[in-house]
Chain A
Amino acid sequence: MLRLENISWKLEDGRGILNDVSLEIPDSKLVVITGPNGGGKTTLAKTVAGLITPESGKIFFDGEDLTGRDITQRAKKGISSAFQQPVRFKGLTVKDLLTLAAGRELKRLELCELLGKVGLCKNDYIDREVNASLSGGEIKRIEIATVLARNTKLSIFDEPEAGIDLWSFAGLVDVFKEVKKKYKGTLMIISHQERILQIADEIIVISGGKVEAAGTAEEIMPKLVSGSRTLRPCERSAAE
């Protein structure tokens, strides 16, 4: 279980981004963190992964205090992160990146399975460089595959829908449905999209650097929909 206690972090100009955030992410659940832009969701994800050091508060993972641990140590403890804007590498191929993520040589069949999970055809991608030639949708899927390759206790996905078109997004929701079915670890997805929220077990709403609401999807979803917190691209397209 991941537990955050009284986490605060502010910008250099003094503006508070996380203000005394406390929450719990239970094991083996798909938890979606949502809320308005600028509310602190990405900062929260970075804090858990160790990319940001909070000014105050504590982070516990499986009962162990990780607050003072760095990125590498947290990764080794079982935390994985898919970035909102995946990083590109000149020279590293998809296979290289997935091998590094898995921490061991992967058989061709394993590589195929991983890429298949994120809806990519193996033969087109295994030897491709993770460089600027990949589209936003392609690199997003590869980013997700790196996290799946690690198969850790906690996987964080920061706005997996960001930067990809509507068609790729529909496929991405299917990817998460599939992962939820087969994956044993905890999935923490930061998202604005209703279709991602619909597959959540639990939802946490972060707004103004605070936890505004938290509970099961059944409890939280009606409040979000009535408050128009989320975008519903398909419905809007239909209306047009």
Chain B
Amino acid sequence: MNDITRQLLEIISDFDGEFKGAYNIREDGQCAARESSENIKIESKQDAPGLVIKIKPGTKGEKVFIPACVTKSGIDDLVYNDFYVGEGADVTIVAGCGVHNTGEEEARHNGIHRFFIEKDANVVYEEKHIGTGEASGPRKIDPVTDVELGENAKLTMDTVQLGGVDNTTRVTRGVLGDGARLIIKERLMTNGKEQAKTDFYVELKGENSGVDLMSRSVARDESYQEYHSVIKGMNVCTGHSECDAILVGNGKVSASPQLDAEHPDAALIHEAAIGKIAGEQLLKLRTLGLTEEEAEQKIISGFLK
């Protein structure tokens, strides 16, 4: 594992020299380190680059780390990771991706993650993305997350893009069974001329299934973001999506939430707010002794926390 990977791991997965749990570290398209645990088996995928991660039914309180790092120019890393989470398991999966570009060519990571979560399982999925390096070559991260939730299963996805990613398309799809819950918290920051596109597509197939999508983003400078969500209510279900964006400088945001109620007892809500930081928020923090710049920074860091 090289130094850049080590630095990226500290940012994206709180790496402090070791992982406490099963792990696989991917570096420039190769496996840099791997360890399974008794309940969590990590194996190479046979038909494509990537991993098969099997979590035994009933596994409680364990973590699995699967970070991926691209540390140089000219790498286009495509990986397929499949997670099979057994009935009643209660685990945390820490993914995350760092792309460091050292040259003029593009550096890209495209992670396609599929989750098959069985009955009564509870999964927390944490994903942080960051781009680093001063070189002119673009840094791209295009994650795809596909989730199938069984009866009364729950996935809480916490996904953050910390900055420095020139271009990203983030696709998340979910199909929910009876009583299943999907909670997604997304936070995005774009600077300079960066572009970010977010696409959520959720089918609430099961009776009493529910989804909660919360996206908060900050578009600075000349950056551009697109948010598109589709929630299909196909049964007695609840769906909520919330898209809040702060514009700084000439940042632009386009949000288009879509709610499809295909069942008379589907209850779907969308809220969206896009705009500059409210003037009164800046004034309040200035009355506490902060300068305008400090106030803006605090408001943004709190908003994206």
Chain B, 269-299, CB within 8 A of any chain A CB? 278, 280-281, 283-292, 298-299
Cα A70 to Cα B278 with chains together (Å):
19
- Distance to closest chain B CB from A148 (angstroms): 12
Which secondary structure characterizes the binding site on chain B? helix
Q: Does A96 contact B (CB under 8 A)?
A: yes
Is B283 within 8 A of A72, CB to CB? no
B residues in contact with A101, CB < 8 Å: 288
CA distance A87 to B287 in the complex (A): 12
B303 within 8 A of A: yes
Interface string of A70-93 (1 = CB under 8 A from B): 111001100111010011011111
Q: Is the CB of A89 within 8 A of B287?
A: no
Report the nearest B residue to A92, measured CB to CB: B302
Report the count of interface residues on B (CB-CB < 8 A).
21
A-B contact count (CB 8 A): 60
**A91:B303 contact, CB within 8 angstroms:** yes
Known: A75-B289, A76-B289. A87 touches B302 (CB 8 A): no
Q: Is B281 touching A89 in the complex (CB atoms < 8 A)?
A: yes
Expressed in whole angstroms, the minimum distance between the Cβ of B262 and any Cβ of chain A is 30
Contact at B286–A87, with CB atoms within 8 Å? no
Report A35-51 residues with CB < 8 Å from chain B CB.
49, 51
> Is the contact region of chain A dominated by helix, strand, or loop, or is it mixed?
mixed
B289/A89 in contact, CB under 8 A: no
B298 with A92: CB separation less than 8 A: yes
CA distance A210 to B303 in the complex (A): 42
**A96-114 interface bits toward B, Cβ cutoff 8 Å, 1 = contact, 0 = none:** 1000110100000000000
Decide: B302 and A89 in contact? CB cutoff 8 A. Answer: yes
- B63 contacts which chain A residues (CB < 8 A)? none
Chain B's closest residue to A85 (CB) is B280
Q: Does any Cβ of A come within 8 Å of B304's Cβ?
A: yes
The distance from the CB of B213 to the nearest CB of chain A, in whole angstroms, is 15
For the complex, is A150 an interface residue (Cβ under 8 Å from B)?
yes
A72 touches B302 (CB 8 A): no
Residue A191 is within 8 A (CB to CB) of chain B in the complex: no
A103→B287 contact, CB < 8 A? no
Residue of B nearest to A152 (CB): B289
Asked whether A81 lies within 8 Å of B287 as measured between CB atoms, the reply is: yes
23 A-B residue pairs with CB within 8 Å: A49-B287, A71-B286, A72-B289, A72-B292, A75-B287, A80-B288, A83-B280, A87-B281, A90-B244, A90-B302, A90-B303, A91-B216, A91-B304, A91-B305, A92-B298, A92-B302, A92-B303, A96-B298, A100-B288, A100-B290, A100-B298, A101-B288, A150-B289
Q: A75-B287, A86-B284, A96-B302 are in contact. List 13 more A-B contacts (CB 8 A).
A: A49-B287, A71-B287, A72-B286, A72-B289, A76-B289, A79-B287, A81-B287, A83-B284, A90-B216, A92-B299, A103-B289, A146-B288, A150-B288
